[in-house]
A and B are shown apart, each in its own frame.
Chain A
């Protein structure tokens, strides 16, 4: 069961990477076409930007993500014995190496995991989580995070984060270029209808790409939350702990220290946004829904 889910996750990571890669190249082509009249050079530029972003993220993803979320590392068991012991427990029973441990100074209870693979992973929790949750509840949350590590969700999220950042960078770059008069394109061309359609399509692509990127990222993340909840219970054998942890997390104020781009990493939406267009843009499934599934176990 779980193994099939893990295999499927790895496969999906491949699809997402391919899809994202195509999107990045399409954006690059559109920009190139708009500004330089050459889609090939746009593609090449986008590819270079993406490779640089990926290299930075994958080489150093944990530190980047942790500093974006104002997390400090705990290196000594005695600084947070209970947290340390629970992460040790879950790593033991989940059969992954001990992740690095981080704490975020924020009164809102929340947690996330990141890294490239189980050998290079990290778990971060907020001080609010440590203060409000009892041992059993904390165990459920840590089980959830270790499951993300075990299922290779962390790798997918890292890559998705790097690619959305690359798209964001390209789009930003393009709009700056546009405003500062770089957009003198094909002055000597006659503005045929085909050309105008090309421009419109390109602009649409540039405008919609970040949206498409975040929708894909979020849809993936939602399903993974259910999977990690179930996998957490498989590790702890105690659905009640995670249920009451989720209730406490739900019943709290939004986070201050969280980075908006990493919202999908957290166990529950750190900004507690109540969206109208709920499902498409939500990074997380409704907590009530998750609790209902846990209660059925």
Chain B
């Protein structure tokens, strides 16, 4: 009898261990998936920038120096080694800022603003920028759940044995940091 109980306990422990391990694998996969979402958008933006440059070329005096900077940052971004997420995002954030200021001054060029192709490009680039921001939000929340698992007891024991490492959060640019505090507390009063 006693050995049956012992066997059941051992089996339960093994099942428990395996499920903790699989939990880590899953959390790590989520982080990788959400990174690849960002990566897709970064590539898309890199593909769009040459179109932007060629469209804007016809408007000789349109912010040539800013355009130049956009192209430089784009090339810089492709040169970052693919594993370095922090460095990639640092360059990407700078590129986002430059593009934003480029679009802001487009207001002063009515001809360019009326250009159908430019309008379409602006929508595509705005879309990509937003998707980068939202994928980063998603990435950070997957990182948070992985890190929490690695730190909390008893899953941290499994993490140590199998060397699951904490991931670093992606930095959010200053101008996007003012996130509002969302409260669901007063929802059930009515």
Contact = CB atoms under 8 A, between A and B. Distances in A.
B138 A93 contact: yes
Interface residues of B, number: 23
A223 B184 CA distance: 11
B180 A239 contact: yes
B190 A230 contact: no
Nearest to A2: B184
B100 to A, nearest CB: 13
B84 interface: no
A81 interface: yes
A200 interface: no
A95 interface: yes
Interface stretch (B50-58, B86-94, B128-136, B150-158): B128-136
Interface string A211-255: 000000000001100110011011001110000000000000000
A277 to B, nearest CB: 17
B159 to A, nearest CB: 24
B19 interface: no
A82 interface: yes
B190 A93 contact: no
Interface string B104-138: 00000000000000001001101100110011011
A230 B182 contact: yes
Contact of B190 (A226, A237, A297): A226
Contact of B182 (A89, A93, A233): A233
Interface in B169-185: 176, 179-184
B187 A92 contact: no
A293 B134 CA distance: 24
Given A92-B37, A223-B190, A297 B135 contact: no
A240 B181 CA distance: 13
Contacts of A2: 184
B182 A92 contact: no
Interface string A279-297: 0000001000000010011
Most buried by B among A93, A223, A230, A234: A93
B184 A297 contact: no
B65 interface: no
Contacts of A237: 137, 176, 179-180
B138 A230 contact: no
Nearest to A4: B184
Contacts of A285: 190
A153 to B, nearest CB: 13
Interface of A: 1-2, 5, 81-82, 85, 88-89, 92-93, 95, 135, 222-223, 226-227, 230-231, 233-234, 237-239, 285, 293, 296-297
13 contacts: A82-B123, A88-B131, A93-B138, A95-B138, A230-B187, A231-B182, A233-B180, A234-B182, A239-B180, A285-B190, A293-B186, A297-B182, A297-B183
Given A223-B187, A233-B182, A285-B190, 17 more contacts: A1-B184, A2-B184, A85-B130, A89-B130, A92-B37, A92-B131, A135-B126, A223-B188, A226-B187, A226-B190, A227-B187, A230-B184, A234-B182, A237-B179, A237-B180, A297-B180, A297-B183
